[in-house]
Amino acid sequence: MPNRHKAKNTKKAKAGKPALPDFHPPVEDFKFYVVYWKDIESDPSWRELKEIQASQPAICISTGWLVKQNKDVHVLMSDFNFNKEQKLGEGGSSTVIPTSCVLKLIEINV
C-alpha cells in the first residue's frame, strides 16, 4: 500500500546547550557503590520436593549513591537532580536493602 502521508518538516531550530551544574560538590557526602545482595526467591509452580529443598535466595546487584547505612539498612539512590541553587535537589530510584542481606560493597570512584 502506498504511503499517502506527506513527510513533515521535522527540522527544529538548534537550541543552545544547557549549562550543566558541577557534578561533584552536590554528592561529596555520598559514595557510589555496586552492592551485591541476596533476596527472597519464590516460585508459585508445582515442583518436586527435592527441587524445592534445593532452592536458594536470588543474588542481586544494585548500584547507586549510598545515602544511608546502619545496622538495619543500606539505602541507595540511583538518580538525583539539582535545585535552582545548583545544589543536590531531589533523589529518585531508591533501593532499601536490609543490611543482613548485603553480601559485598564495591566503591566506585566517580
Section 17-23 average pLDDT? 72
- pTM score, whole prediction: 0.72
Residue with cell 530510584: 93
**What count of other Cβ atoms lies within 10 Å of the Cβ of residue 108?**
9
* Rounded Cα gap, residues 76 and 105, in angstroms: 12
Q: Is residue 14 part of a domain?
A: no
Q: Is residue 94 part of a domain?
A: yes
Section 73-95 average pLDDT? 89
CA dihedral 32, 34, 38, 42 (to 10 degrees): 100
* Rounded Cα gap, residues 9 and 99, in angstroms: 55
The whole domain housing 53 covers 25-108
Q: DSSP secondary-structure letter at 66?
A: E
Q: Is residue 40 part of a domain?
A: yes
**pLDDT given for residue 29 in this prediction:** 82
**pLDDT given for residue 110 in this prediction:** 82
* Rounded Cα gap, residues 17 and 5, in angstroms: 33
**pLDDT given for residue 63 in this prediction:** 97
75/10: higher pLDDT = 75
DSSP run (H or E) holding 88: strand 88-98
pLDDT, tens digit (0-9, with 9 covering 90-100), for 24-83: 545 678 999 999 999 999 999 999 999 999 999 999 999 999 999 999 999 999 998 888
Q: Is residue 11 part of a domain?
A: no
**pLDDT given for residue 108 in this prediction:** 94
Q: Is residue 2 part of a domain?
A: no
**pLDDT given for residue 89 in this prediction:** 83
Q: What angle do CA 62, 93, 44 make, to 5 degrees?
A: 65
**pLDDT given for residue 25 in this prediction:** 47
Q: How many domains does the chain have?
A: 1
Q: Is residue 19 part of a domain?
A: no
